[in-house]
Amino acid sequence: MHAKYQKKYDSLQADLLALYDELKPHDEVVLNKKQDENTWSVLQTAHHLILAEQTSIRYIKKKMSFNPEFKNAGIGTSFRSAGLRMYLASPFKAKAPDFIGDASLPEKSSFWEVVKLWNATRDELKELLETMPDDLLKKEVYKHAFGGKLTILQMLDFFDSHFKRHRKQMRRTIKNYHFVV
């Protein structure tokens, strides 16, 4: 794996393991509780993040299977990536696409199911990064639904920003549950 991929992957993994430690002490009733019909539970939010990573990995694998010519990343790619990260750091909300949104999220699940699924997804990501040719480092290989075409490193930046945004949401959900109860 290229050193730049390794560094970002390791950071993503450290954040994920810290999240597991944060969530583990909570009862599954708390982790499955929605504040209202228009919000996600903690475990639904986790499933959303997993689905976002899974669909991104599948996209790249499918794209790579065609052996296409990828465009070089440029200033536009950097602006799109920065715009996506800025949006994810903002308080503004957007409806998630159906394939990673309400229609695709389980009503209930268990913490350990989420851990198993997320670990398998991260194993798949690691395998993808280990097989990614170095000459694609600065190519627009990934396509985000809102952010457009990005590099693999920018995809990993998206995973990080997306994770951090929803980790805050999970923390608020847990805090609000304990405040109400």
**Residue of 169, 168, 162, 159 lying closest to 10 (CA atoms):** 159
pLDDT one-digit tens code per residue, 63-105: 998 888 899 999 999 999 999 999 899 888 888 877 888 888 9
The structural domains of the chain, ordered by start, are: 3-180 (1.20.120.450)
Pick from 93-107, 131-145, 149-163: least confident: 93-107
Residue 116 CA: distances (Å) to CA of 21, 111, 119, 120? 14, 9, 5, 6
Quick one: tokens of 128? Answer: 């993808």
The structure's pTM equals 0.93
With cut-offs at 50, 70 and 90, classify the pLDDT of residue 179: low
